[in-house]
Chains A and B, each alone.
Chain A
Amino acid sequence: NAGVTQTPKFQVLKTGQSMTLQCAQDMNHNSMYWYRQDPGMGLRLIYYSASEGTTDKGEVPNGYNVSRLNKREFSLRLESAAPSQTSVYFCASWGAGSPLHFGNGTRLTVT
C-alpha cells in the first residue's frame, strides 16, 4: 500500500519556467490537498479538492493552478515560477474515518 506518492522529489527551476507536480493516492480518498511548507510558517494550504471534479482555493493560491484528473490524481502547476515559490510542497489526501495522509514532499528551488 503506497499511500500518497509525489513526484518529483527534487526540482530546480529558473525564474519563469513552468512545471507540474504530480500526486497520486491509492486509498480511494475523496479529498486531496496541496500544501507548501516554509521555515517558521508551518504548512499553508494552496488548493484543495473535496471530491473528484471540484477544486477550491486555499490560503495561498496565487501563482498556482491545480487539476483533479480523477479520484486518484491531483496535480499542481506553476505556470511561471518565481523565487518566492521556493519551498517544500506536500500533497495529502483524506477520507472519512481516516487521518490526513501526506506524501514525502517535493523540494523545489527557483533561482
Chain B
Amino acid sequence: GDSVTQMEGPVTLSEEAFLTINCTYTATGYPSLFWYVQYPGEGLQLLLKATKADDKGSNKGFEATYRKETTSFHLEKGSVQVSDSAVYFCALSQYNFNKFYFGSGTKLNVKP
C-alpha cells in the first residue's frame, strides 16, 4: 500500500542554518506530494505541494522537489528562523484525493 517515510527527529539547528528534512514515499501511479506544518497546540497547515514529477513546491522560503526517480520529496530551507520551530509532516495523496497518507512527522527546534 501507499506509505510515507520521513527522517526521525528532533532536528535542532541554530538560527540561519540550512535545513533538510528527508521524505521518501511508496505509491503506485503518480501521487501528489505535500508538506504540512504543525505549530504547538494547532492542527496541520499546508506548507507546499507538488502534483507531478519534477515540480518544485515553495512557500515561506521552504522548497521541495518531486523526484520520481528516487521517490523523494525532501524539504529544504536556506536559512531557518526561530519561528520555524514546529513539526513537519510529509504526505501523499492519489489522484482521487480520497485518502491522504502522512509520515510520522519531524520536530524542528531552532535556537537563537
Q: A residues touching B (Cβ–Cβ < 8 Å)?
A: 4, 31, 33, 35, 40-45, 48, 50, 58, 90, 92, 94, 96, 99-100, 102-105
Contacts and interface: CB of A to CB of B under 8 A. Distances in A.
Main secondary structure of the interface of B (DSSP, over half): strand
Contacts, number: 51
Contacts of A48: 98-99
Interface in B55-109: 89, 91, 93, 97-105
A97 B59 CA distance: 17
Given A31-B97, A94-B97, A99-B49, A43 B102 contact: yes
B14 interface: no
30 contacts: A4-B43, A31-B97, A31-B98, A33-B100, A35-B102, A40-B104, A42-B89, A42-B102, A43-B44, A43-B89, A43-B105, A45-B99, A45-B100, A45-B101, A48-B99, A50-B98, A58-B99, A99-B46, A100-B36, A100-B44, A100-B91, A100-B93, A100-B100, A102-B43, A102-B45, A103-B43, A104-B41, A104-B42, A105-B42, A105-B43
Interface residues of B, number: 21
B99 A100 contact: no
